[in-house]
C-alpha cells in the first residue's frame, strides 16, 4: 500500500501535472504490473518513471503533439488510478492542494479522475489552500529555454506559453536576440496549438520589426506561412499569403552558408508549397516537389539518419497519391512510412482508413488499436473502430469504444449520435433519451440528435413533442431523410395521412432506399391510391440487398394493391 503524504502541492509554479504526477508515480511503484498497461500515459505525465527517457526537447520532434492529447493522457491516467482504487480494501483519502492555481494539465486530470473513481474507496480532497513547496529562484535564460523546449515537445502548451512569456519579459532583442527569439517563437508555437493563431501571427510580425537577422526572418516567414495555411480559423486562412511567405522562406534558405542546412531547410519549406499545390487541385505538381525533395534529402543524410524526417516526406507523398486516386500506392507508401517511424500514431490512423476503404476491416481494426496504444487513447481511433465494429455486427464492442470516446471528449457529437442510435437499436430508450439530451445540451440544434430524440418520443407516445423535434431537425438539415421519414410516421399515426405522404415525397426524392417507398406506399393505400402505392412497392422490391422481412412485407402489400385494382 502506498504511503500517502499529507497533501500533494499542485501549484502551477511546479509545472505540468504537479502533484498528480507524484501521486501516479507512487501508485505505479506500488502496482508495477498494473502500470505496465499504461506506460504511454504514465511516462508522458511522469517521465522519471521511464528508465530510458531523455528530455523531450532532445528528441527533436518534427511534429508537435495536438493540444487535445492531454485529455487523452488524463483519460488513461484516470483509468489506471481507478483500477488501483478498485483493489483497495479500506477507504483512502488523497489531498491535493492549490488546485485553483494548478496548471491546466493538473486540473484536467483531476477532473477526469473525479468522474472516474465513482463509488470506489478512493476519495479526493481538492483544496485551494495548503502548504506550498518552495520554488527555485528565477532560472537563467538557458534554463528557461530548456524548460520551454521540454514543454513544447511534450505538448503542454499552457505551461509553455507561461514559460515563454516569462522568458520574453526577462530579455530584449537588443540585449539577447538569440534567447528573445527562442522565447518569441516558442510562445507563438504554443499559442497556435491553443487555437490562438492570430496572436502568434502578431508575434512573428513583431520579430520581423525587431530584427533583420536572416535565420530568424527565414524561420518567421515559414511559421507565418503555416499559420495562414493551417492554424488560423478556416475563414481567415489565405493560401496566397501562405505561398508568399513560403517563397520568402525559400529565398532566405537559398542564402544559408552551410550547404547541408541549405538542403534540409529548402526541402522542408518546399513541402509547404506541395501542400498548397495539392489543395489547389495540382497533386501531380505536388508529387514532383515531394519526389525531388526525398531524393535530395536522402542524398544529404547518412544511412539511418533522421528517419522521422524521411517518414514525414513519405507521408506527404502517400496523401498526394490518395489525391491522385491511387489508394494502393498510398498504402504501400504508408507501409514504408511506418517502417521508418513506427511510433507515430497518426500514420496508423491513416493506414487504417485505407484498409477500411479497401474492404479490409480486420487490418483497419488492428491499426486503430495500435494508434490507440501509441496515442494514447485517440478519440478518433476509438470512434472509427466503433463504426467498423458496428458494421461487423459487434454492437457491444462498438458501444464500449463509443463510451470511451465520450469519456475522453464529451463534446464528440458523432460519437454521441452513434451511441444514441445503438441504444435505440437495442430498445434501450431511457439510455438513448439521456444521451440525446446530453448531446443537445452541448449542441441544441444538432439535426441528427433532434431526429433521434423525436423518434424516441414518438415511440413513447409523445407525438406532438416528436413532431416539433423532427420539424426542428428538418429546419437544420432539410436533406435529412430519416427526419422526413420519422415525421411522416408521426403524422400518419396522428391521422394526417396527406401530410405523411407529403413528407415521404421529400424522403423519396432524396433517397433511393426502400423504406421511404414502403412507408409511402402504405400511406397511399390508406388513401386508396392503389396504383401509386403499387409503383412504390415495385420500386422498393427492385432495390438490392433487401432483408427477408421487408421483402416479405413488400410482396404482401403489392399483392393487396393488385387485388384492390382488380376488384
- Hey, is 123 helix, strand or coil? strand
Please give the pLDDT value at position 134.
Answer: 82
Is residue 219 assigned to a domain?
no
Sequential DSSP letters for 1-16: -----S-EE-BGGG-T
Last residue of a domain, one of 94, 109, 126: 126
Domain that holds residue 548: 514-567
Residues 416 and 468 occupy one common structural domain: yes
With respect to residue 187, please indicate whether it lies within any of the assigned structural domains: no
In a shared domain, residues 483 and 520 = no
- Check residue 53 and report its DSSP letter: -
| Domain match, 426 and 491 both | yes
| DSSP secondary structure string for all residues of 343-388 | T-HHHHHHHHHHHHHTT-HHHHHHHHHHHHHHTTS-HHHHHHHHHH
Please indicate, yes or no, if residue 220 is contained in any of the structural domains.
Answer: no
Looking at the structure, do residues 506 and 528 belong to the same domain, yes or no? no
Q: What are the strands, taking DSSP E only, across 54-105?
A: 92-97
Overall domain count for the chain: 3
d(CA 42, CA 61): 20
Shared-domain flag, residues 507 and 532:
no
- 554 and 503 in one domain? no
Task: Look at residue 59 in the predicted model and tell me its pLDDT.
Answer: 46
For 105-149, give the DSSP string. HHHHHHHHHHHHHTTSSEEEEE-S-S-----PPPPPHHHHHHHHH
CATH of the domain at 477: 1.25.40.10
pLDDT at position 129 is 86
Residue 4's pLDDT is what? 67
Same domain (yes/no): 121, 17: yes
CA atoms within 13 A on the CB side of 125: 14
Q: Which residues contact 50 (CB under 8 A, 6 or more apart)?
A: 39, 43
Strands (E), 441-528: none
d(CA 220, CA 105): 29
| Same-domain pairing of 455 and 424 | yes
Cβ atoms of 310 and 301 within 8 Å: the answer is: yes
Per-residue model confidence as pLDDT tens for the chain (567 residues):
566 677 899 999 999 999 999 999 999 999 999 999 999 999 999 999 998 877 655 544 456 899 999 999 999 999 999 999 999 989 999 999 999 999 999 999 999 999 999 888 999 999 998 878 888 777 899 999 999 999 999 999 999 999 999 999 999 999 999 999 999 999 999 999 999 999 999 999 999 999 999 999 999 999 999 999 999 999 999 999 999 999 999 999 999 999 999 999 999 999 999 999 999 999 999 999 999 999 999 999 998 888 888 999 999 999 999 999 999 999 999 999 999 889 899 999 999 999 999 999 999 999 999 999 999 999 999 999 999 999 999 999 999 999 999 999 999 999 999 999 999 999 999 999 999 999 999 999 999 999 999 999 999 999 999 999 999 999 999 999 999 999 999 999 999 999 999 999 999 999 999 999 999 999 999 999 999 999 999 999 999 889 899 999 999 999 999 999 987
Listing from the earlier edge strand, what are the strands of the sheet with 92-97?
A: 8-9, 92-97, 122-126
> What's the confidence (pLDDT) of residue 308?
86
Quick check: is 467 in a domain? yes
Is there a single domain that holds both residue 15 and residue 82?
yes
Backbone torsion region of residue 229, taken as left when φ is above 0, otherwise alpha when ψ lies between -120 and 50, otherwise beta = alpha
- Looking at the structure, do residues 453 and 417 belong to the same domain, yes or no? yes
Is residue 3 one of the residues assigned to a domain?
no
Residues 504 and 518 in one domain: no
Please indicate, yes or no, if residue 275 is contained in any of the structural domains.
no
Kindly state whether residue 55 falls inside one of the protein's structural domains. Answer: yes
Domain boundary among 78, 106, 126: 126
Q: Are residues 16 and 89 in the same domain?
A: yes
Asked if the structure places residue 472 within a domain, the reply is yes
Tell me what pLDDT residue 56 has. Answer: 58
Q: What pLDDT score was predicted for residue 1?
A: 58
Q: Of 126, 147, 181, which residue is a domain's last? A: 126
Give, as one character, the DSSP assignment of residue 42.
H
Amino acid at each position: 500500500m502506498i504511503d500517502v503524504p499529507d497533501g500533494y502541492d499542485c501549484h502551477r509554479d511546479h509545472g505540468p501535472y504537479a502533484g498528480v504526477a507524484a501521486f501516479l508515480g507512487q501508485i505505479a511503484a506500488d502496482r508495477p504490473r498494473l502500470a505496465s498497461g499504461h506506460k504511454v500515459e504514465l511516462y508522458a505525465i511522469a517521465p522519471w518513471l521511464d528508465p530510458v527517457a531523455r528530455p523531450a526537447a532532445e528528441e527533436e520532434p518534427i511534429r508537435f503533439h495536438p493540444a487535445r492529447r492531454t485529455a487523452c493522457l488524463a483519460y488513461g491516467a484516470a483509468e489506471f488510478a481507478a483500477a488501483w482504487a478498485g483493489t483497495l480494501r479500506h477507504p483512502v483519502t488523497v489531498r491535493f492542494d492549490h488546485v485553483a492555481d494548478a496548471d491546466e494539465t493538473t486540473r484536467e486530470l483531476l477532473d477526469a479522475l473525479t468522474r472516474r473513481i465513482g463509488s470506489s474507496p478512493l476519495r479526493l480532497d481538492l483544496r485551494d489552500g495548503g502548504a506550498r513547496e518552495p520554488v527555485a529562484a528565477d532560472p537563467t535564460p538557458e534554463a528557461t529555454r530548456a524548460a520551454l523546449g521540454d514543454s513544447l515537445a511534450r505538448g503542454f502548451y499552457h505551461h509553455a506559453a507561461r514559460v515563454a512569456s516569462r522568458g520574453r519579459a526577462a530579455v530584449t532583442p537588443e540585449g539577447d536576440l538569440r534567447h528573445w527569439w527562442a522565447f518569441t517563437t516558442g510562445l507563438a508555437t504554443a499559442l497556435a496549438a491553443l487555437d490562438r493563431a492570430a496572436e502568434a501571427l502578431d508575434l512573428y510580425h513583431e520579430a520581423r520589426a525587431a530584427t533583420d537577422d536572416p535565420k530568424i526572418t527565414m524561420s518567421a516567414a515559414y511559421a507565418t506561412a503555416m499559420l495562414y495555411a493551417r492554424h488560423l480559423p478556416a475563414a481567415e486562412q489565405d493560401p496566397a499569403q501562405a505561398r508568399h511567405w513560403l517563397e520568402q522562406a525559400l529565398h532566405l534558405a537559398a542564402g544559408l552558408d552551410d550547404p547541408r542546412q541549405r538542403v534540409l531547410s529548402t526541402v522542408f519549406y518546399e513541402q509547404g508549397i506541395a501542400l498548397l499545390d495539392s489543395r489547389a487541385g495540382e497533386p501531380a505538381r505536388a508529387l514532383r516537389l515531394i519526389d525531388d525533395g526525398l531524393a535530395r534529402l536522402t542524398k544529404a543524410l547518412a544511412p539511418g539518419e533522421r528517419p522521422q524526417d524521411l517518414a514525414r516526406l513519405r507521408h506527404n507523398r502517400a496523401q498526394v497519391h490518395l489525391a491522385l486516386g491511387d489508394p494502393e500506392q498510398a498504402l504501400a507508401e504508408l507501409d514504408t512510412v511506418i517502417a521508418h517511424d513506427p511510433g507515430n500514431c497518426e500514420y496508423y490512423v491513416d493506414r487504417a482508413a485505407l484498409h477500411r476503404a479497401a474492404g479490409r476491416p480486420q487490418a483497419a481494426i488492428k491499426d486503430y488499436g495500435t494508434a490507440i496504444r501509441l496515442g494514447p487513447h485517440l478519440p478518433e481511433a476509438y470512434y472509427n473502430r466503433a463504426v467498423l465494429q458496428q458494421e461487423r455486427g459487434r454492437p457491444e464492442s462498438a458501444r464500449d469504444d463509443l463510451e470511451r470516446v465520450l469519456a475522453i471528449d464529451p463534446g464528440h457529437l458523432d460519437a454521441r449520435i452513434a451511441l444514441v442510435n445503438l441504444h435505440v437499436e437495442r430498445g434501450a430508450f431511457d439510455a438513448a433519451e439521456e444521451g440525446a439530451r446530453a448531446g443537445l445540451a452541448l449542441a441544441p440544434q444538432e439535426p441528427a440528435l433532434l431526429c433521434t430524440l423525436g423518434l424516441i418520443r414518438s415511440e413513447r407516445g409523445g407525438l406532438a413533442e416528436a413532431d416539433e423535434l423532427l420539424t426542428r431537425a428538418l429546419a437544420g438539415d432539410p436533406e435529412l431523410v430519416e427526419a422526413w421519414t420519422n415525421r411522416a410516421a408521426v403524422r400518419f399515426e396522428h391521422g394526417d395521412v396527406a401530410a405523411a405522404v407529403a413528407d415521404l415525397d421529400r424522403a423519396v426524392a432524396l433517397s433511393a432506399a426502400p423504406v421511404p417507398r414502403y412507408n409511402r406506399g402504405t400511406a397511399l393505400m390508406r388513401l386508396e391510391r392503389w396504383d401509386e402505392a403499387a409503383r412504390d412497392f415495385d420500386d422498393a422490391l427492385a432495390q438490392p440487398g433487401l432483408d427477408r422481412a421487408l421483402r416479405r412485407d413488400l410482396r404482401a402489400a403489392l399483392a393487396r394493391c393488385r387485388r384492390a385494382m382488380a376488384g
